[in-house]
Structure 1
Amino acid sequence: MIETEVDIAKKQVVKQESTTPLEVKVCEEDKNSKIVKTCDVCTEEIETVYNLECEHKYCQTCLQRLFTDPTYVFPIRCCNKEISLDFVINILTPEETQPIIQRAGEASHRLFCPTPGCERPIHVTAKSEISACPDCRKDICVKCRSHAHPNKKCWKGKNEKRFKKITEKRGWRQCTVCGVFIERRGGCKNIHCPCGNTFCYHCGKQICKCIIGRSWARKIKQTFWKVVGF
């Protein structure tokens, strides 16, 4: 029997109808199947994470907390790699980013008090030469970031080469982030600068002491106390 165009058309319709339920099922499976990822900070399983330059993964909540926590010093870093402010602005609301931008602006005009035990962040203006620490009340030379030296010229500039020889002779190390000189008098060779940078006193290179490591250490400590019954 010769098939007419109508018969052929009917068979095509039947084929399409028979494959429709399968296609719908596949679509539903694709819709319901979501790739779950883990935040490296809170270890929560979530759908959306943000990859930083150091390849650590943050959820939005942890990233927001990182930039809003007043205990963290700008610029914010992970693994000693600075996290771009634009990166955070793109994922937070304008209300959330406003105080972050303000803190970042203040950080660009800031030094740390060199008085042992104080280390208070001090905001300075571009024209400032001397700034007083609001806590210990010591005067700080903005140029060399050490205690003020009235009636004496600052070594920064004319005597910089001489000062460099002194630092090399005494074995002082300069922080690669804020520029302050640090003298190690004992203990671990890993130096934690008041600006938040951590570096090796032996070679001067930065050491990874990022949020991830501190987060895991905190979780291990909490687990330990639960195991011992406290």
Structure 2
Amino acid sequence: PDESFTCEICIEPISLPNKKFKNQNLCVHPFCMDCMAKYIAVKLEDNVGNIPCPSLSCEKFLDPISCRNLVGPQLFVRWSDVLCESSVLGLAHCYCPDRRCSALILDECGGKAKRSKCPNCKKHFCFQCKLPWHSGFECEESRELRDRNDVVFGVVAEANKWKRCPQCRHFVELIEGCKIVKCRCGVSFCYNCGKRVYRHWCSCDSASVRCIRIIHGITIIFILLSIFFIFKNLNSITPKK
């Protein structure tokens, strides 16, 4: 039997039967493998995990397992990551209250979780008030203890001149070295003024600014001198008769 078909995406006749896309047993449409691979890649660029069938009359979604060989290992891992991220955003979650950990933790108890254990640092905390576990205290009482601890911690941070990251607000300590530091969240900022920077210098550092202005001025002078000598040499050349 003739198993050729016309792809409804690229509108090209396909004669090889193994070039026809199969979405497990969910749905069957005349799409070629190449078009489907490109379609999936575009959807993943937009962070779409539940990819719908491209057929306008179909309400099914593509099965990632059946598409694994089609998209290749790298794109399949990306697809898995997008699905995981979308699942996490739909669940209640919090971060470990230990400032040295801050691991992402999901609520798998339907909002009833209270005493929980961080899978990363193994410390117990309260999922309701998002504070270290307060045995013998209610959440409101624990908040009062936290406020006092925060005051003490703030005094220590000020005495040691620690700086907060402008993005995640975690404290960062600079022992020595360059004043442009990078937080674990990926944001770079100036340890002098605390502002986020996108270059390896900050306008608050007058010495750096003066140095950059001097280099910029020398560069302009060098370019102008080069142009001057080029025109001078051109004018000194006598055209042959």
Task: Report if TM-score (shorter chain) is over 0.5.
Answer: no
TM-score in terms of structure 2 length: 0.34
- The structure with the larger Rg is 2
TM-score in terms of structure 1 length: 0.35
Which one scores higher on RCO, CA 8 angstroms, separation ≥ 6?
A: 1
